[in-house]
Structure 1
Amino acid sequence: MAPQRPQQEVSAWRPRIPGVVEVFHAHFTEYAYPMHVHDAWTLLIVDDGAVRYDLDRHEHGTPHDTVSLLPPHVPHNGSPATPHGFRKRVLYLDGTHLSDTLIGSAVDQPDLRDPELRLRVGQLHTALGHPGDELEAESRLTLIAERLRTRLRPAAAAPIPVPGPVLARTLRELLDERVAEGIALDEAARLVHAHPAHLVRAFSGAYGIAPHQYLMSRRVDRARRLLLDGRPPGEVATVTGFYDQSHLTRHFRKLVGVTPGRYARDARRLRRA
């Protein structure tokens, strides 16, 4: 029986999210990284297998439940720690969310055993894979960065502010004004003079729904009305703020239970009845 060939599967892209330099997904069975450096923070999760690496002359590993944060400009390598290799998802982040003052702490403790953080990073990757879900990705990233800062600098971490109803209401008004065009989280935070993480927490605490979920709900509601008016799904996607028809379909099916095409067909059938 011929030996199995080494696998190298890679996908990479740059999303339209402030602070994210690159998204990198890879599956390697035998490939080993030599010592190298990055000019960005490396936020790494391993979905299958494990990676062993050296950072600052100390050996580290990535069990399944960890999140690894490797600081910029610090040499490290990487190789499979299991016979079948590893499958990983990586975000390269600039200094927007993580400052250089945290580099020392990250060198000392690059692997964080934090199941909730691990779950959030996975959810962020899912959002980054769907063009049009930028507000969700920004919201998830700002909360992840806040948790990382707290883990790396627990003594200096500021207490989480109590959610403010006025702040939440102001953001809701902004979202209502910009249902189709949307608004970036950083812009909303500047307009209401609040930290992005505080803004997300305030809104979620006041209304029981995240800002991106609220915005998508409003867009789907508008789409339903236009579909009932007989407008085609592709046109509806454009005028209601979705990236494309498939983006509309995914959120519409999640909130309504059927695709926009099925919804429109049933509406036409009932009108003829």
Structure 2
Amino acid sequence: MSDHALPSPHDWVRRHSPPGGIERIEAWFGGHGYDPHRHDTYAIGQTLAGVQSFHYSGALRHSLPGATMVLHPDELHDGMAGSAAGFRYRMAYIDPASIQQALGGETLPYIRGGLSDDLRLRCASQVFVQALEHPLQALEEQDALYDLAVALRVVAGKPRGRKRPDYQAAERARGFILEHAEQDITLEALEQVSGRERWSLSRDFRALYGTSPYRYVTLRRLDRVRAMLLDGFSLVDAALAAGFHDQSHMTRYFTRAYGVPPARWLQRLRA
């Protein structure tokens, strides 16, 4: 690994995550940014300066200013500077459930390679990658989500040869998860509440929301961990309150989801 790939003490992340709204960040990294990890959201953004490199879908990709990054939910990726100059970028994390409000139960659109030069996607994502100093009004956000969903569908093209998922059954399961994320949830319980055979439900859940029911539970628990850490709770208290066995259990899943341990995540936000 070259010197410029090492973590920089001057790396920083600015984050805006209003209650019930879309999480957006702006960040700068001088070298290594994130270890391999997976979100259960779309990560949609733009490189503002420098070369933003990342491994994705079996290849090393390079994002330059002018392109749009569209990382699919649950796709493994990392992040690093592609040159000694470092890179700066903005990213929005879009819940697939919000996209489904416009798609109405279609398989999630997939943008191959995680990068697109299509102007329709760039325009549709512009609202979400504007400066964090400009908060999104509720109606503005909803309009932009619809435009983004349509652009994703058009640019990705419709998948062929797959039966339409049972959206209502999957939504019932997702609602149950949101209400009981801190508890021990089983496929049997999801089968009962959704009215759908468990393996069909699991397959449809992945198609509609981009991840498995278990991963969805885990990420909701991590959402609570992040909120508690920002409120000043200790790692161990946040882990136990969110439903993890202990701090090390939570830290392992946190790093897999965000590419950095929780203490490092907090440090960057406070830089």
| TM-score calculated relative to the size of structure 2 | 0.48
Q: Which one has the largest radius of gyration?
A: 1
Structure with bigger RCO (C-alpha 8 Å, 6+ apart): 2
TM-score by length of 1: 0.48
